[in-house]
Structure 1
Amino acid sequence: MTMSTDHEVRHAIVTGSDSGIGRAAAVALAAAGLDVGVTWHTDREGAEETAAEVRSHGARAVVAQLDVTDMPACGDVVDGMIDDLGGLDVFVNNSGIGTKTPFLEMSLEEWNRVFDTDLTGAFLCLQRAARSMVAAGRGGRLIAVTSVHAHQPMVGSSAYDAAKHGLSGLMKNLALELGEYGISAVSVAPGAIATAASGQADIDPRQVDQPGIPLGRPGDAREVGALIAFLASPEAAYISGTSLVIDGGMLQMGPQAGADITGHEWRTV
């Protein structure tokens, strides 16, 4: 029997919310009226800045350090944040890393580091969040930030591409297994977004010319945050088991790029 999801959504956790997409998502959720758990790995100051923005919207912020490669302790951090918040309605798995290493040069250590961060750690955190939601009996939203590379690959990103494909697949499975509890599971797949991770922090993406994207520019982290906030809203209650791409049309450039590339430079990182 499907449980009701009609209760007021009040509590969210966003991992990796010390900057970039994670910060934008945390602030957008706070603006929508949710209290937010903010996590950081190495940038505590950034997390406190995010928390201050959350509080500026009248929402409560809880801040904790989270290393998703520290397993299973990362799950304990999620449990502790849920207790501090007083419940959990929305969990956004945003923590992740990528590398630029050709497949033939990829070490097992680097491969494992990407998978531990982007997939195995995500599994543990999502599982703890889901268990809390099931125990509370009020449903919930699980949202994973993946990548356009969960749909199409990029040279030098074999570990990242494989991990993001795996995370996207995991979310589809969660939609199947958790739907009976009123829990939805959705992936958000950003393309080129102007953040510190892309080397484009603190710039106006609308002033950047990126011809390979149909809209001609990278995305703004706040645009991704707005999508995540929508997915947490009552209006998005029936969206589950899918991947929502937010990339300015980048994925549609496959055949076009194949036809227009005139050199072999793309083969190397």
Structure 2
Amino acid sequence: MLFPTDTVALVTGAVKGIGRAVAMDLAHEGAEVIVNYRQDEEAAKETIRLIEAAGGRAALAKADIADEDSVRGLFKEIRETYGRLDVLVANAGVSRDRHLITMGVDRFREVLDVNMVGTFLTCREAVRLMEHRRSGSIVTISSAVGIHGGLPGQTNYAASKGGIIAFSKTLANEVSRRGIRVNTVAPGFVETEMTNALPAARRKEYSSRIGLGRMARPEEVAYLVSFLASSRGSYITGSVLEVHGGGFEYGAIIH
């Protein structure tokens, strides 16, 4: 196993897709996982059930990561229950695609509030908890669109994911001397509810333009997250690792 049995890990947005896969893999590798959710309690409970069925340990934690009071309450509970946090995976995020000329400011702000502000709030509270032990690992989940630009209609999403990358690199510089590592994983297309909702012809088109000829499975992203969070990644910080299957040019596709 990658983690000692007293390891405590928090995964935000762990109800489905990449978040669920990350929570399950961290638990499989020995960590006790705090499964964060905002609304979908049944999906969060399913994540818990899957973890426990595989012999892992997990606990539910409801919180809106875009709300400062809610995040503070979440970390107060973690502090009182566990007294520590070893791993944070800042995964929770939303997309609200629309072409710029028809996009309202509320839609733009919602994506930045959840994706960017939510990452800021959870990372801030995690650092406050980790610095007393002078150890900890934070993995933020960005996207390949934050590096290469997104599809048409994704200006808000791409801005938030690019912001996460810059934020994480800077935070890594800020906290490295406190023994805390910060890295970013930037997936490309992944088989999730969001991509499964695309028309079959579009999924086929996108897959054909990926070097490996298919989308990633959520667990293929999770394996990298667990590695970075563990002691096997002990000399890696401030890095951005893409999981895109090779060579997809997001900005080159026109709807």
TM more than 0.5:
yes
Over aligned residue pairs, what C-alpha RMSD do you find? 2.3
Aligned twin of 1:263? none
Aligned partner of 2:135 in structure 1 is: 139
Instruction: Show CA shifts across 1:19-69 (max 9, x none).
Output: 110010011001110000001122111111111222234332110112122
Per the alignment, residue 72 of structure 1 pairs with 69
Letter of the aligned partner of 2:62 in structure 1? Q
Q: Does 1:150 align with 2:146?
A: yes
Distance 1:116 1:219 in 2: 27
Query: 1:190 and 2:187 equivalent?
Result: yes
1:84 matched to 2:84? The reply is no
Q: Please, which of 19, 22, 43 is the counterpart of residue 19 of structure 2?
A: 22
Number of corresponding residues: 247
TM-score, length-scaled by structure 2: 0.90
Asked if structure 2 preserves the Cα contact closer than 8 Å seen for 1:37 and 1:85, the reply is no
| CA distance, structure 2, for counterparts of residue 85 and residue 195 of structure 1 | 32
Residue 92 of structure 1, CA deviation:
0.2
Shift of 1:103: 1.2
* 1:152 maps to amino acid: H
Report the equivalent of 1:226. 223
Q: Which secondary structure does the structure 2 equivalent of 1:144 belong to?
A: strand
The percentage of aligned residue pairs carrying the same residue is: 32
> 1:191–1:250: 8 Å Cα contact kept in structure 2?
no
Gaps of 5+ in 2: 199-203
| Cα distance in 2 for residues equivalent to 1:75 and 1:222 | 30
Q: Which residue of 2 aligns with 1:62?
A: 59
Q: Which runs of 5+ in 1 are unaligned?
A: 1-5, 202-206, 259-265
Which string of whole-angstrom CA distances, capped at 9 and with x for unpartnered residues, describes residues 185-225 of structure 1? 00000100001122369xxxxx9981010100010001111
Which one-letter code corresponds to 1:140 in the other structure?
A: G
The TM-score, its normalising length taken from structure 1, stands at 0.85
Q: Distance in 2 between matches of 1:174 and 1:42?
A: 29
Q: Name the amino acid aligned to 1:157.
A: Q
Give the SS at the match of 1:231: helix
Q: Which moved more, 1:61-70 or 1:232-241?
A: 61-70
Counterpart of 2:164 in structure 1 is 167
